[in-house]
Chains A and B, each alone.
Chain A
């Protein structure tokens, strides 16, 4: 439905991501590089998944069980990749600290590490939004709109934009939670992230049921809000602890 609608859908899906980028990440070139490499990482994991699933595609029926297996394997794989990503992040942190010692600058602060985690998560979220939502939005710039059979009340582009928005938030902040959890070794955080990702992905399965998207969309937004809240609490706690330990030195 014209360029205005197309741009509108893009902004719905990517609005928070763009503002995060412009306000936080664009200022430090290193974070831009982190974002690009984490996007590449996610893309490669998606290609591997697609390669593994290629023989079984296209899924002819729209029953639940093929898609649920797809989702379970995909989410499991991506969460496994996240641990690998964290290991790489640790190595990079060590290299950066060694470099900081060489040029006699302070080592990485806690906020730096969290910013790096944020950039990594935003990279994942951006990749998700682009591949699952933006690449299908090209017809939206034209003169018409499209409705999926299972969901006749909301245009397809709007649903996918809102889902992409939810997942951007989930990916971005679950990376922050996950990195903090792995660093501190707290089980609760470590379990929360795969759990949240899995639940969010399973919620989208509700969309397969006719009329299900009316329930699925709000639930997904609630899930995204939960992740955001959890990460906020975690970061607040961590930073206040850090401040008190620093000021007590």
Chain B
């Protein structure tokens, strides 16, 4: 009698199921976001011992606290007003910086922008990363002397600079550095006062929505310029290109992009020679034809010591589908032409995957980090909300096929879930489980 638990993928190759490969790209974007959030939560919870969270440490002087610095003794309405003013100032600053970026890009100062970004990556990794490293070393009493740590930090930062815009660096290294930059910036941002953080997140989500979708929004102009010139944006983006070496088990059916458009959208145009059953036939992935681009968050870092402003950390999610990696999907079974004209597929031969800008990483992690300062329950609820918002955005992306902001849905869901959990769920669950009554 054959064993009951005979997984299909280990029997003959014809038993590979469609759920083996579906959703690879979505998971490929969600995992770095999850890792980034996890690292931020770990760093924040380990660094914030009770002695340092008292109000003796003044909040950093930043662009986000230009107008009003929150202190515990103010009334809630005063805090709210101050937070709104702070957020408005910050968003105005970011909008101005984004317009400056658009201007520079329009006049073809691309190499200047790239060098500026390289410098800002170095600054983030070396200086801000260095201060985090110093506090971690201090907190855990790690025996590492100053010259060694300086050299290690310097090497780390230089390698990061090298990996940012160079195509020769292995993709895994580049992805790791993107995540590190996002983690460092998010840890830094999470030190803002509480009310300011929440209002700032909401304001940024609204700004992002406006900047990407409005006809004269700066990010939309930027994206259109870049796609009309058919070159890459000079920005820090995370590229979720699948690392093929890590998928030895999955059958060739793991086309990275096919998964996205599979269930939700109708494929667009027909590819040629649909009746061939040759083994080398490339599979068409049912995705978009025109190449919208997924970019988010152009991160420009103002390197002034006193005022840090993260410009253009806005989620501009476009999907770059002009090309996606084609792996021979169903080539072994041949390709049967479908009868109706609707189900015809588009051919791709690109090497790019979904891209998510670093600002999205940063602000998702800021939200989760701020939730971590309250309780683990809110962390998990916000994590789920953000991930589901990201999933929704990716699905919308495959439907609309042009740049979409990734911040609004996730941040809205995250904020809603945070307050619902904190106000509603926590008394319920904690009351039940401390009495050991569970369901």
Contacts and interface: CB of A to CB of B under 8 A. Distances in A.
Interface stretch (B152-160, B190-198, B207-215, B331-339): B331-339
Contacts of B428: 46, 49-50, 53-54, 57
B287 to A, nearest CB: 12
Interface string B316-355: 0000000000000110011110100001000000000000
Contacts of B88: none
A134 interface: yes
Interface of B is mostly: helix
A70 interface: yes
A136 B7 contact: no
B391 interface: yes
Interface stretch (B90-98, B105-113, B228-236, B418-426): B418-426
Given A46-B425, A50-B425, A167 B438 contact: yes
A205 B437 contact: yes
A183 interface: no
Interface string A45-85: 01101110110011100100001001100110010000000
Interface of B: 1-2, 4-9, 14-24, 26-28, 30, 249-250, 253, 258-259, 262-263, 283, 286, 329-330, 333-336, 338, 343, 375-377, 380-381, 384-385, 387-388, 391, 417, 420-421, 424-425, 427-439
Contacts, number: 196
Interface stretch (A14-22, A35-43, A172-180, A184-192): A35-43
B436 A106 contact: no
Contacts of A151: 436
B436 A136 contact: no
Contacts of B26: 29, 33
Nearest to A59: B431
Nearest to A164: B438
A230 to B, nearest CB: 15
Interface of A: 27-33, 36-37, 39-40, 43, 46-47, 49-51, 53-54, 57-59, 62, 67, 70-71, 74-75, 78, 95-96, 99-100, 102-106, 108-109, 111-112, 115-116, 128, 130-138, 148, 150-151, 156, 159-160, 163-164, 167, 197, 200-201, 204-205, 207-208, 213, 216, 235-236, 239-240, 243
A101 B333 CA distance: 13
Best-surrounded residue of B6, B335, B425, B436 (most CB of chain A within 10 A): B436
Contacts of B385: 40
A122 to B, nearest CB: 15
Contact of A29 (B23, B329, B343): B23
9 nearest CB pairs, A to B: A207-B436, A50-B428, A135-B377, A29-B27, A201-B439, A239-B4, A29-B23, A135-B376, A50-B425
Nearest to A200: B439
Contacts of A159: 436
Interface of A is mostly: helix
Contacts of A33: 23, 26-27, 391
B436 A148 contact: yes
B19 A115 contact: yes
A108 B20 CA distance: 11
A29 B22 contact: yes
Contacts of A132: 429, 432-433, 438
A134 B377 CA distance: 8
Contact of A30 (B2, B23, B391, B435): B23
B435 A62 contact: yes
A78 B430 CA distance: 18
Given A33-B23, A54-B427, A57-B431, A70 B17 contact: no
Contact of A78 (B24, B30, B376, B439): B439
Contact of A105 (B333, B424, B430): B333
Contact of B437 (A58, A136, A208): A208
A108 B17 contact: yes
Contact of A197 (B262, B387, B439): B439
A127 to B, nearest CB: 8
Nearest to A54: B424
